Amino acid sequence: MRLTTKGRYAVTAMLDLALHEGQGPISLADISERQGISLSYLEQLFAKLRRNELVKSVRGPGGGYQLNHEKQAISVAQVVDAVNESVEATGCARQGDCQSGETCLTHHLWCDLSNQIHSFLNGISLADLVVRKDVKDVADRQDRRHSSQVFLTATDSLRADKAAV
């Protein structure tokens, strides 16, 4: 089992998409700036998210990424899984062949733990996160800090209007 910045980055980036839903495609450059994640690294993560059909992409200027499903339908567990960070606590992938073909002494304990974690992360959707107070607070701060050029150009507000329809 393993949960590092990899999985955390993925969830954070997906939550960023959910927060800016309805504003058209969001570029990775925007996410990189807002969330403090390396652009190149984001590209690699989104390649996996796209292959798992959690996001869809639009290429070219004004392009970026959008959620491929309703926010309610995307769980944190799905996102973490998509970037290959299993929250599986057993070493045998639940096979029970941990100790040279046989079940090890603590196999069932780690199975129980895996169930706990998985059901917890499975029960939280991006929609659930979006409405949380602690998430809103941080999102507001980030928007205030990075809103400098959002409504500066005519094309940008035009795009936002189009997307809002």
Partner DNA sequence: ATAATGTCCTACTTAAATGCTCGGATAAAT
Partner DNA sequence: ATTTATCCGAGCATTTAAGTAGGACATTAT
The residues that touch a copy of itself, with contacts defined as CB under 8 A, are: 1-5, 8, 11-12, 15-16, 35-36, 76, 89, 91, 99-100, 102-110, 113, 116-117, 120-121, 124, 129, 132, 134-135, 138-139, 141-142
Alpha-carbon span 85 to 81, nearest angstrom: 5
Residue 88 touching DNA (CB under 7 A)? no
Alpha-carbon span 48 to 10, nearest angstrom: 10
Applying CB under 7 A, the span of 41-49, 71-79, 101-109, 110-118 interacting with DNA comes to 41-49
Binding residue for DNA (CB under 7 A) from 34, 54, 65, 78? Answer: 65
Residue 147 touching DNA (CB under 7 A)? no
* Nearest distance from C-beta of residue 96 to a copy of itself, angstroms: 10
Which of 68, 58, 72 minimizes the C-alpha distance to 27?
Answer: 58
What residues are paired with 99 via a beta bridge? 102
Residue type at position 151: F
Coil, strand or helix: which one is 23? coil
Residue 103 touching DNA (CB under 7 A)? no
Residue 72 interaction partner, one of a copy of itself, DNA, none, beta carbon < 5-8 Å per kind: none
User: DSSP characters for 56-87?
Assistant: EEE-STT-EEEESS-GGG-BHHHHHHHTT---
Alpha-carbon span 107 to 98, nearest angstrom: 7
Residue 28 interaction partner, one of a copy of itself, DNA, none, beta carbon < 5-8 Å per kind: DNA
Cα Rg of the chain, angstroms:
19
* Nearest distance from C-beta of residue 15 to a copy of itself, angstroms: 6
Q: Which positions touch DNA (CB under 7 A)?
A: 2, 4-6, 9, 27-29, 37-41, 43-44, 46-47, 50, 57-65, 84-85, 155
